[in-house]
Structure 1
Amino acid sequence: MIAELRFYTITPGHSEALFDEFTAVSLKLFATHGITAYGPWRRQLTKGEQLVYVLEFADEQARDERWAAFRADPRWQAVLRARAAAEPHIAGSEILTLSR
């Protein structure tokens, strides 16, 4: 099993928009593409906050295949186009890959 622990530092003033997008779009697309997701959670930082979640995959091949399908999904492509036209919600990110 492989898990990805993902941290997204939120641009000030964009917390609700990012959480709304994640809940309304990302979680549903993850499920559509067979990606098991846990979260999201808020992590308070000294300055700002992060959106944190965990994704679970059977193995590296499943992870690569599911991410490729997710990224190619026209619904996700529409989100990326909309993001490009707006002020960014994400100031930075960190992804930790865990395996057992």
Structure 2
Amino acid sequence: MTTQDDLGSVEPAGEQVLAAAAGGLTYPVAPGYRVKVRQGPGTNYPAVRTLAEGARIQIRCQRHGQSVSGPYGTSDIWDCIGSGQYVSDAYVRTGSSGMVAPRCTN
């Protein structure tokens, strides 16, 4: 499956799985999507890598940023998955339309 929104947030689907930190709660990326990880909470930030199809992420914290539409609706919540690494929550199945992790402090 190949998909891309008009903001360039996804790429052709692949088959690798990103392992999250051992023992932590993880959330799946929407099936069939490879989601770009960005340096900040918006598509205007450079992409630092792309999550593989079937990836699961561990959310460290969340912050509000650019509103993005994806398979799980439209959201301005961005999930921080590492230092300077953000993914739009619209592409992550958290089971909530609100925040599921602490608000980022930096």
TM-score by length of 2: 0.27
TM-score by length of 1: 0.29
Larger Rg: 1
Higher relative contact order (CA 8 A, sep 6+): 1
